[in-house]
Structure 1
């Protein structure tokens, strides 16, 4: 039985390498904690990202107060039903719903004395993630890519924002300097179809193979993704074009794409699970991605990826690498470019009790 849902704001500082030092980017998140009647706790996170969700810390915290009063006394094991109730209470607030869903599932796993990945029906196998290189000039791109390789990441994700000729030069430079690297490019829908076609053709002529090309064209023109893959053979991954399962099936009906990026904050946990299974049925690979999430949500997403290995071909869960100092312990670790899911933890293994008032910490369970 759920006896409490607590929430605290957390302003997360990301330290991301830039051409002139490090960019200090602040993400304003919310950490959620559910408490069951026997004292078992579970943690979740609300990660807010402009342009993806319409939520703010203020709106999320207000919605969580409404949710807490509604689910108080409910059976935590009936989390699917609770998720539907929460959706009715906070329509459109997918990240907020996601934070509660994560916390409920985490508490359920701990109550059952299981790791979250076991609770979801999988096993804690290591996952290979990419590491992101943000836009910059060619020397910066090379320096960041080399740093990623020194850290053990062989999969490199290059953010591309145009012009396409500069992006081609950046990708070619990385491919030449770091042969045998797995290269993914994410354009965030910034290219027109013609420029995306020129970008792919130029790399093909240079002998550079893209492992994945994420959202090259505008979200408002999903058919361009299908057309680009059909005409070039490039492995296209949809992100912003997918807002729900219906969008996936519409792409499939047009001819299909190679992959889609599933971010739990964008869909919520229950809908993400449904979307993953729908993609598997359609023959579309999933990439489990994230936004500006701490290890709380990233550990959850890693467990989900491991538990749905039959459908998940790609993992893009690197933001904790850019968050060196946070008031939480446990959860996933990184080793030579791989995400290590703890074998002996309960739930996600996260302990975020330091974020909550001292009088409320007694029930924390992490292993």
Structure 2
């Protein structure tokens, strides 16, 4: 959202290096309405495919989300715009999104289930994501996906950004796929190294 032309050039480079690739554009509230429309048009002009625009504008600007859906024809996912069931009602009533991004760190598990159920009943689609979390938290989100069904877009990859993974067991990454666990609960445990005190972690 800082430099639309630079964003377009980055995607064009990926498009050329990986023919046939499609993109989910996560604006993280960084675009204005005009910038998002210019971004979508720029991707279209080089032949790229945007399959989803996630939270392109600030959370309260639902009018712009409506306009972006209408003017680009690209599905929009509401992320920061939905931090509660009441937020979901507003977004859906106003026609501001095609997907609602469920994150348990925004709402907790129980309200996440309520939002997901309401979204499906309203005829919209579900996405699941997260903050920068360990595989314990992501395992909870993945469990929600497995238990509820109806989730079409999974964005549960932030544990891959961590320098190390102290979690043993649980779900695992298999290329672009997530493989579930078969043990009770989340099927995982945390291994704390013997020298953890040097990092300020108490065993």
The question of a shared fold, defined as TM-score above 0.5 by the shorter chain, is answered with yes
Aligned residues: 193
Counterpart of 2:31 (choices 173, 191, 194) is: 191
Superposed displacement of residue 322, structure 1: 2.0
Q: Does 1:349 align with 2:182?
A: no
Superposed displacement of residue 251, structure 1: 2.0
Q: Displaced runs of 4+ in structure 1, greater than 4 A?
A: none
Helix, strand or coil for the counterpart of 2:114?
helix
Alignment of 1:129-144 (within 5 A): none
Which residue number corresponds to residue 274 of structure 1?
114
Alignment of 1:210-249 (within 5 A): 210-249=50-89
Counterpart of 1:313 (choices 127, 149, 152) is: 152
Q: Scaled by the length of structure 1, what TM-score is found? A: 0.50
Counterpart of 2:10 (choices 167, 170, 191) is: 170
Superposed displacement of residue 353, structure 1: 6.4
Distance 1:167 1:353, change over 3 A: closer
Q: Distance in 2 between matches of 1:324 and 1:340?
A: 21
Q: Distance in 1 between matches of 2:87 and 2:73?
A: 21
Helix, strand or coil for the counterpart of 1:190?
coil
Q: Distance in 1 between matches of 2:73 and 2:125?
A: 16
Gaps of 5+ in 2: 194-203
Distance 1:326 1:202, change over 3 A: closer
Counterpart of 1:293 (choices 130, 133, 137) is: 133
Q: Does 1:328 align with 2:161?
A: no
Superposed displacement of residue 354, structure 1: 4.2
Q: Distance in 1 between matches of 2:102 and 2:3?
A: 27
Q: Deviations over 1:78-128 (max 9, x none)?
A: xxxxxxxxxxxxxxxxxxxxxxxxxxxxxxxxxxxxxxxxxxxxxxxxxxx
Q: Distance in 1 between matches of 2:11 and 2:142?
A: 28
Which residue number corresponds to residue 179 of structure 2?
340
Superposed displacement of residue 171, structure 1: 1.2
Q: Distance in 2 between matches of 1:290 and 1:255?
A: 24
Which protein shows a greater Rg?
1
Superposed displacement of residue 317, structure 1: 0.4
Gaps of 5+ in 1: 1-160, 356-367
Task: Name which structure has the greater RCO, CA cutoff 8 Å, separation 6+.
Answer: 1
Q: Please identify which structure carries the higher strand content.
A: 1
Superposed displacement of residue 331, structure 1: 0.8
Q: Distance in 2 between matches of 1:167 and 1:232?
A: 17
Q: Scaled by the length of structure 2, what TM-score is found? A: 0.89
Superposed displacement of residue 323, structure 1: 2.5
Q: Distance in 2 between matches of 1:327 and 1:258?
A: 36
Q: CA RMSD in A?
A: 1.6
Q: Deviations over 1:286-323 (max 9, x none)?
A: 1110111101111111111122222x111000012122
